[in-house]
Structure 1
Amino acid sequence: MKRLLAVTLGVLTAIGGFVDIGDLVASSLVGARFGFSLVWVLLLGVVGICVYAEMAGRVAAVAGRPTFDLVRERLGPRAALVNLIGSLLVTALTLAAELAGVALAIELISSVTYLLWVPAVVLMVWLVIWRTRFETMERVFGLAGLALVVFVVAVVGLDPSWSGMLDGTLHPEVPGGEGVPTYLYYGIALFASAMTPYEVFFFSSGGIEERWGPEDLAVARTNVFVGFPLGGLLSLAIMAAAALVLHPAGVEVGNLSQVVLPVAVPLGKAGLALVLLGVFAATFGAALETALSCGYTTAQYFGWRWGKAAPPRAASRFHVVVATALVAGAMLVLTGIDPVKVTEYSLVFAAVALPLTYLPILVVANDPEYMGRAVNGRLANTVGVLYLAVVLVAATAAVPLMIATKAGQ
């Protein structure tokens, strides 16, 4: 019964926790500008995160150590340091975007400017990390994030042409007025939103927090192969809602209110209330994950004691890193920089950092010293190498495309 409960809640948590500010902005923006022509990229990203999250979860369950800890040991301190720096920069930028997302959700509810809410959001995130058990934290915000299912209801309520949607998905083309470089730029951003580096590091570390062992491989795999695809379905619904409402009207997404607008069209105020709850929970949960990920990767690299289960005094350096990341993210948001642009830039740089994240995971998952008989099989290696090639192409093209398109303009 306990294992069944862990699987059930784990799946629900994965569904609610998959969608963060990057998925909200990228999916909505892409749907508004390109209709259904980039759905294939989202599907590609969902499969990719499943492939590598399964490896990361299996490493944690079998080796009993988080992925980043083994990366340093397996690749050496210098190579792992490059990985650490890249991961920290991207995760810290993502954290700033998540904090802004929480504050913007509160602004839409209260009509008080989001900048005034940022300090309160930081304090709330820090208190939850400091005082709440890992399982409680993960499940409460993950389950609350399921309110985003209202996007699926909204798509059905819009009574779309299902054959037209399918045709646009199966026969993608660059819409008139959009250039191929811009199409590719947003395609990479959408791909990166599904494969954001912090997800696998948090997933692996979370497995250690929940004391996974070899007997929990089924739990880890259920989280991955059921939870992540269903989370991807939410992203697809966000894209579809924008494609149905905003794309025909020529509206480009520039703020969070436009992301939630398609829900209000068929469902009115009740739908708007639910979607705002979902956005708040999803971005708050992602802020928790990114803040913790900054602490996880840093502590694991330096060999410090870490984790929410450890008494704060015993893991003081871990908590200092988490708090520092929160303050740094808040300071960036308080400069007044456009939160949507922060999100877009975080996705571009996440794309650049993808090889630093996924190559070491592939290496560790193939090491029999750590994994014994649970090393990657032929299928996992074949798909993993193919995705690594895709990741390298995306990482190489991301910054040149950002420059060529002036960040998608």
Structure 2
Amino acid sequence: MKRLVGVALGVLTAIGGFLDIGDIVTNAVVGSRFGMALVWVIPVGVLGICLFANMAGRVAAVSGRATFEIIRERLGARWAVVNLGASFFINLMTLTAEIGGIALALQLASGIGPLMWVPVAAFAVWLVIWRVRFSIMENVAGIVGLSLIVFAVAVFLLKPDWGALAHAAVLPAIPDTESLPVYWYYAIAIFGAAMTPYEVFFFSSGAVEEGWTVKDLARSRMNVLVGFPLGGILSIAIAALATITLLPQQIQVESLSQVALPVAEAGGKLAVAFLIVGLVAATFGAALETTLSSGYTLAQFFGWSWGKFRRPAAAARFHLVMIISLFVGAMILATGVDPILVTEYSVVFSAIALPLTYLPILIVSNDPEYMGERVNTRKVNAVAQIYLVIILAASLSAIPLMVITGAGQ
């Protein structure tokens, strides 16, 4: 039973991190336009986030310190401030998207416009962070978020041609209506959504919140190997649903309600009810993670007191940063900007910032001064170096492809 409880951090990270509004929308958009032709990117992203999240968790367990604290100390203030600026900006964009995602999910449930739900969502996130214990927060958000398994159930209920789906995934072909630059633009978007930087910052800081030590390394691996692959499976299910139901009708996903259409077709009102509960939990969990990550990054960089394990009065600047971040995100959405549009841009900009996040983690996890005998193995470093090449290619290609394709239009 303790092991099941121990994976709660990984489940929360998967449901509220890997499978956040960015993944849900991006995979549905891709499925409705390209079918299964881009599904191969999802396992590539899953393996990458598992690789680096495990490093970040190991660093936290061995050193007892969060990744961003060590990054500043190891790389120096000049390099770390570049990392800080990029990470905080991307995190704020993602937080804005997640607040918008909560509002859109509540709109599905109530029929009330998302603008009315934005302040409610922001206040609820702040209230949970302010008053609810970390362990309760992660368990509730993770368990309720498992309602999104309805995506996978819906695929089976639709009884698709499994051979055709597998063939399209293994031998991808670009539809005649799409171009090669647009194809690669969305490949980068899926990759960026899978490896969003805040995931590893939250995972690392969460390990410190829970007091992990070397004895918890097995628990860290379990969290990674359960949480992120689960999010990846559900991401594939979302793309498959859009492929089965939306692509043949040439319906391109432009709203969260369209993401729900295949689920409604497969399982009716009951399935949609589970979906709405899961969407609220997933976006709320991601909003919690990104809000906490905004406080983690700044507090750890400047050496402030931080953590939910401390009373708010003992970590006042940490909590103030989170309040300001929530307020800024809500104000951006109050201008009437489309949350889906914010989401689509946030995952692409996440891809741009990937080298600044994952190269320092690789450097620190190989430093015996912090890790002792727990440095990376040669095999881990070999795979990590391959991923650094992929990450750098995605980062350098994102802006040119965004300009050439008009952001995937």
TM-score band, normalised by shorter chain: over 0.9
Q: Which amino acid aligns with 1:170?
A: V
Q: CA deviation at 1:323?
A: 0.4
- The 1:388/1:399 distance shift into structure 2, 3 A limit, reads same
Aligned-partner Cα distance in 2 for 1:181–1:14: 31
Aligned-partner Cα distance in 1 for 2:58–2:366: 11
Q: CA deviation at 1:12?
A: 3.9
- The residue number in structure 1 matching 2:52 is 52
- The residue number in structure 2 matching 1:138 is 138
- The residue number in structure 2 matching 1:68 is 68
Q: CA deviation at 1:16?
A: 2.9
Cα shift readout 1:29-72 (whole Å, capped 9, x = no counterpart): 11111000001111110110000001000000001100010000
Q: CA deviation at 1:5?
A: 4.1
Aligned-partner Cα distance in 1 for 2:11–2:319: 27
Match of 2:254, SS state, is coil
- The residue number in structure 1 matching 2:404 is 404
- The residue number in structure 2 matching 1:299 is 299
Cα shift readout 1:253-280 (whole Å, capped 9, x = no counterpart): 1011011111000100001111011000
- The residue number in structure 1 matching 2:247 is 247
Matched, 1:109 2:94: no
Preserved CA contact (<8 Å) 1:201 1:293: yes
- The residue number in structure 2 matching 1:216 is 216
Q: After the TM superposition, which of the residue ranges 49-58 and 6-15 deviates more from structure 2?
A: 6-15
Aligned-partner Cα distance in 2 for 1:297–1:200: 11
Q: CA deviation at 1:13?
A: 3.4
Q: CA deviation at 1:376?
A: 0.3
Q: CA deviation at 1:10?
A: 4.2
Q: Which amino acid aligns with 2:111?
A: S
Task: List aligned pairs for 1:4-403, cutoff 5 A.
Answer: 4-17=3-16, 18-403=18-403
Aligned-partner Cα distance in 2 for 1:76–1:8: 34
Q: CA deviation at 1:6?
A: 3.4
Aligned-partner Cα distance in 2 for 1:11–1:42: 18
* Structure 2 unaligned blocks of 5 or more: none
Aligned-partner Cα distance in 1 for 2:355–2:173: 28
* Structure 1 unaligned blocks of 5 or more: none
Preserved CA contact (<8 Å) 1:6 1:219: no
Aligned-partner Cα distance in 2 for 1:324–1:157: 44
- The 1:406/1:23 distance shift into structure 2, 3 A limit, reads same
Q: CA deviation at 1:28?
A: 0.5
Aligned-partner Cα distance in 2 for 1:151–1:5: 23
Q: CA deviation at 1:142?
A: 1.0
The percentage of counterpart residues that share the same residue type is 56
Match of 1:175, SS state, is coil
Preserved CA contact (<8 Å) 1:197 1:357: yes
Q: CA deviation at 1:8?
A: 4.5
Preserved CA contact (<8 Å) 1:52 1:200: yes
Preserved CA contact (<8 Å) 2:13 2:203: no
* TM-score normalised by structure 1 residue count: 0.98
Aligned-partner Cα distance in 2 for 1:246–1:5: 37
Q: Which amino acid aligns with 1:98?
A: E
Aligned-partner Cα distance in 2 for 1:118–1:345: 19
- The 1:12/1:91 distance shift into structure 2, 3 A limit, reads closer
Preserved CA contact (<8 Å) 2:12 2:285: no
Q: CA deviation at 1:24?
A: 0.5
Aligned-partner Cα distance in 1 for 2:308–2:10: 21
Aligned-partner Cα distance in 1 for 2:11–2:198: 19
Aligned-partner Cα distance in 2 for 1:312–1:16: 26
Q: After the TM superposition, which of the residue ranges 394-403 and 12-21 deviates more from structure 2?
A: 12-21
Aligned-partner Cα distance in 1 for 2:257–2:85: 34
Aligned-partner Cα distance in 1 for 2:324–2:10: 31
Preserved CA contact (<8 Å) 1:15 1:146: no
Preserved CA contact (<8 Å) 1:118 1:334: yes
Match of 1:313, SS state, is helix
Task: Please tell me the root mean square deviation across aligned C-alpha atoms, in Å.
Answer: 1.0
Aligned-partner Cα distance in 2 for 1:50–1:209: 20
Aligned-partner Cα distance in 1 for 2:346–2:368: 35
Q: Which amino acid aligns with 1:256?
A: L
Q: Which amino acid aligns with 2:53?
A: A
Aligned-partner Cα distance in 1 for 2:376–2:88: 27
Q: Which amino acid aligns with 1:25?
A: V
Aligned-partner Cα distance in 2 for 1:42–1:12: 18
Preserved CA contact (<8 Å) 1:16 1:144: no
Aligned-partner Cα distance in 2 for 1:14–1:85: 23
Aligned-partner Cα distance in 2 for 1:324–1:388: 33
Preserved CA contact (<8 Å) 2:7 2:226: no
Preserved CA contact (<8 Å) 2:202 2:292: yes
Aligned-partner Cα distance in 1 for 2:270–2:80: 48
Q: CA deviation at 1:231?
A: 1.4
- The 1:10/1:205 distance shift into structure 2, 3 A limit, reads closer
Aligned-partner Cα distance in 2 for 1:229–1:218: 17
Alignment length, in residue pairs? Answer: 408
Q: CA deviation at 1:108?
A: 1.1
